[in-house]
């Protein structure tokens, strides 16, 4: 729901040249009903209209009193054009507004609820769905735009709702970070244990009684371990090769 509030010295609505409603000092409220509006949208707008401090106090202090505080009147006028959209042309599109039958029922309930929240005799109305001529003397001028779906225009009713999700989001990253640190520490610990095991295996391997003498197939006493089945399995299990893999693992740690 959208609404435009105007602080007025007086205002009136005419249909076919005949005045059907008028007020003195108070508020003129243009009301646009969205097709997705629910009862809560009306409740928010009503509360803001009746409690907004748009009037001066007796000492001339500005923004001190609401329309209820000054015992002022409220003239509501249905205004579906507040939901206008300009899409592919310069012609306004009004499909966002609630259709006539449900819209009238919603608007009637809106007026009744506003009367219950204030004083039914202080709430005046135009004529729903009619071509109206609205006259007013805007005092100030003071004009306020409200939107029940906008957190900025109705911030007092939405600020408390937003606090809880922010707390939840702030906790979650910390717990994930702690988990990642724990996993990283465990990985490093396992890596060190693997290197210690390799060092012991290498030491035992160096102490073995295998001796290699130079020959035609093994000049300079260097043996191709891949061709000897009796020790190739041991070399593979140790994670050792001819390229110094163990030393590389040590450097990585």
Quick check: 86 and 92 in contact, CB under 8 A?
A: yes
Integer Cα distance of 158 and 152 in angstroms: 9
* Nearest-10 Cα torsion for 131, 28, 110, 133: -10
Integer Cα distance of 242 and 58 in angstroms: 98
Integer Cα distance of 217 and 220 in angstroms: 10
Question: Would you state the structure tokens that stand for residue 123, as one six-digit string?
Answer: 């709430």
Catalytic residue among 81, 100, 108, 143: 81
Sequence-distant (6+) residues with CB within 8 A of 157 are: 44, 47
The residues pairing with 27 across neighbouring beta strands, listed in sequence order, are 7, 74
Q: Is 81 designated active site?
A: yes
Question: Would you state the structure tokens that stand for residue 127, as one six-digit string?
Answer: 């004529």
The catalytic site residues sit at 81
């Amino acid at each position: 729901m959208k609404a435009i509030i105007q602080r007025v010295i007086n205002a009136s609505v005419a249909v076919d040249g005949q005045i059907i409603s008028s007020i003195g000092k108070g508020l003129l409220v243009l009301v646009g009903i969205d097709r997705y509006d629910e009862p809560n949208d009306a409740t928010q707008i009503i509360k803001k209209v009746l409690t907004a401090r748009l009037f001066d106090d007796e000492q001339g202090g500005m923004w001190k009193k609401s329309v209820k505080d000054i015992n002022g009147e409220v003239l509501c006028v249905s205004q579906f054009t507040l939901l206008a959209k300009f899409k592919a042309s310069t012609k306004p599109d009004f499909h966002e507004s609630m259709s006539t039958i449900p819209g009238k029922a919603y608007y009637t309930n809106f007026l009744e609820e506003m009367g219950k929240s204030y004083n039914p005799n202080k709430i005046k109305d135009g004529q729903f769905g009619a071509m109206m001529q609205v006259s007013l003397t805007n005092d100030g001028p003071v004009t306020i735009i409200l939107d029940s779906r906008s957190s900025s225009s109705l911030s007092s009713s939405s600020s408390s709702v937003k606090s809880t999700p922010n707390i939840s989001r702030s906790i979650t990253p910390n717990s994930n970070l702690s988990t990642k640190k724990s996993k990283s520490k465990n990985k490093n610990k396992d890596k060190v244990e693997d290197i210690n095991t390799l060092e012991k295996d290498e030491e035992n391997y160096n102490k073995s009684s295998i001796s290699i003498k130079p020959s035609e197939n093994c000049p300079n006493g260097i043996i191709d371990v891949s061709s000897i089945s009796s020790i190739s399995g041991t070399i593979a299990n140790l994670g050792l090769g001819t390229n110094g893999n163990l030393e590389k693992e040590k450097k990585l740690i």
